[in-house]
Amino acid sequence: MRWNSAAARPEGPGATDRKTVPMPLLTRLALTLATLAWAALPLAAQDFAPRLLVNDRAITNWEFDQRVRMLTLFGAPGDIETEAQRVLVDERLQLDAAAEIGLELTPEAIRAGMEEFSARANLPAAEFIAALGQAGVSEESFRDFVRAGLLWREVVRARFGPRATVTESQIDRAIATSTEATSVRVLLSEIVIPTVAGDESAARAEAERIRRTIKVEADFAAAAREFSAAPTAARGGVLDWIALGSLPPEVAPAISGLPPGRVSAPVKVEGAYAIFFLREIEQQSLGEATPQSVEYALFALPANRDPAAEAARIRAATDTCDDLYGLALRLPPEALVRETQALGAVPADLSMTLARLDDGETALVTRGGQPVLVMLCGRTAQGDLAPSRDAVRNQLVNRRLAGFANGYLEELRANALIREP
């Protein structure tokens, strides 16, 4: 859950239906907080010395510590400290961009944003802030976090709103493409190049360089083995058949126009840039429908055991997501989490993994530095219902705004002076 990346999309993804072994959310949060390696320090004892300067605006050690705690509580994937620093740098640049065009928010707007964010955890803001406080995250830090996200959303709308409009014919084509996706599946290979905090342009440039060297599938496979950070690297980036409509929203458009034997342009995914080689495309029976939501379970594996062996043990003992509850009886409630989400709302670090799985299949992933077994419970299809024109228009506009926002943020990073004090 990261506000500033979602802020680039004026309309957020679909709501999440979260199911766990029953226990009040605040109790689960308290148990999670108990696993943190540090306790909250008194305010006076915090370190307010500058950790980093962004265009001569300081990010303090206290702000960094606060953001690490917050992202840890939110279950952010990847290296938490690297992610915390990257997000704080981005927020400084976003605040500068807002100040440049004279944008500011009223206290009422910020409070409404805090309520909106808290509602994602099915809590009023007061209770959510109290839960953060148990982790040593101050209300001020949460307010600053929300304020930066809201201001960036307004910056993007103000700068790029007129350029993100779509025509009726573009909506017609998008609806037609969505209908076609219900009967198409693709055979892909992937290369994933991780980004470095504060310099996403280097990963994009590397992905583009690799793309230009590829003439045939064997070239792509060799490059995947040498450069890709994905779990598929050892087998040349090869993926199994995936329904075109099941691909993550940022990936599907890059694939849908490719002929077999071609490589996609670099696609920005969570923490990386990816390129895809389309090996084959196949028409399915017209009766099959595009899945619109996905249900999956996340089972946290013990850190003191071999993750591969533990995952194999769980696979052997389970056939469905319901079977996981029997293995979690004596574990803390947060050890087993079950989610139902719209495809566009699935976290980017899980979306491609889930797209490869059939019902009851599992994969071993790493989230927040911890091994996690993910199992696909099932997919819910749209059936014969066509998307509304307003929904398609909003999706196209949001996608364009997100693209403008990402490009503008990259430009701000490239022009910024970021240094240690």
Please give the pLDDT value at position 44: 39
In this structure, are 116 and 257 located in the same domain?
A: no
Boundary-marking domain end, from 264, 283, 302:
283
Whether residue 105 is found in the same domain as residue 147: yes
Q: Same domain, yes or no, for 342 and 209?
A: no
Residue 305: give the domain boundaries.
Answer: 291-381
In a domain, residue 372? The reply is yes
**What are the φ/ψ torsions at residue 296 (nearest 5 degrees)?**
-150, 160
* Any domain includes 177: no
Query: Beta strand pairing status for 16-20 and 336-342?
Result: antiparallel
- For residue 26, being part of any structural domain is answered with yes
Residue 158 lies in a domain: yes
Q: In terms of domains, do 136 and 221 share one?
A: no
User: Are 373 and 413 part of one and the same domain?
Assistant: no
Burial 57-68 (b: 16+ CB within 10 A, else e): eebbebbbbbbb
The pLDDT, as a whole number, for residue 403 is: 73
Is the same domain home to 295 and 269? no
CB atoms within 10 A of CB 376: 21
| Domain co-membership, 245 together with 98 | no
348 shares a domain with 274:
no
Task: Note whether 103 and 196 are same-domain residues.
Answer: no
Q: End of a domain among 283, 305, 334?
A: 283
What is the per-residue pLDDT for 97? 94
pLDDT (tens digit, 0 to 9) for every residue of the chain, 421 residues total? 333 333 333 333 333 343 333 334 443 444 344 333 333 344 434 578 899 999 988 999 999 999 999 988 877 666 889 889 999 999 999 999 999 999 999 999 999 999 988 887 778 889 999 989 998 999 999 999 999 999 999 999 998 888 777 778 767 766 665 554 445 788 999 999 988 766 678 888 899 899 989 989 999 999 999 999 888 899 999 988 887 777 877 788 788 767 888 898 888 887 789 999 999 887 654 444 455 678 899 999 988 888 888 888 888 888 888 788 778 767 787 888 888 887 777 887 788 788 878 888 898 888 877 889 999 988 776 544 456 788 778 877 887 787 778 778 888 988 999 998 8
**Residue 313 belongs to some domain of the structure:** yes
Read off the CATH number of the domain in which 37 is found: 1.10.4030.10
* Residue 307 and residue 227 in one domain: no
271 with 192, same domain: the answer is: yes
Q: What is the CATH number of the domain that holds 323?
A: 3.10.50.40
Q: Is 105 a member of any domain?
A: yes
Residue 354 identity? L
Does residue 117 sit in the same domain as residue 259? no
Provide the number of structural domains found in the chain.
Answer: 3
Within-domain flag for 48: yes
Cut 0.85: pTM above it: no
Separation CA 113–CA 20 (nearest Å): 26
- The answer to whether residue 168 sits within a structural domain is no
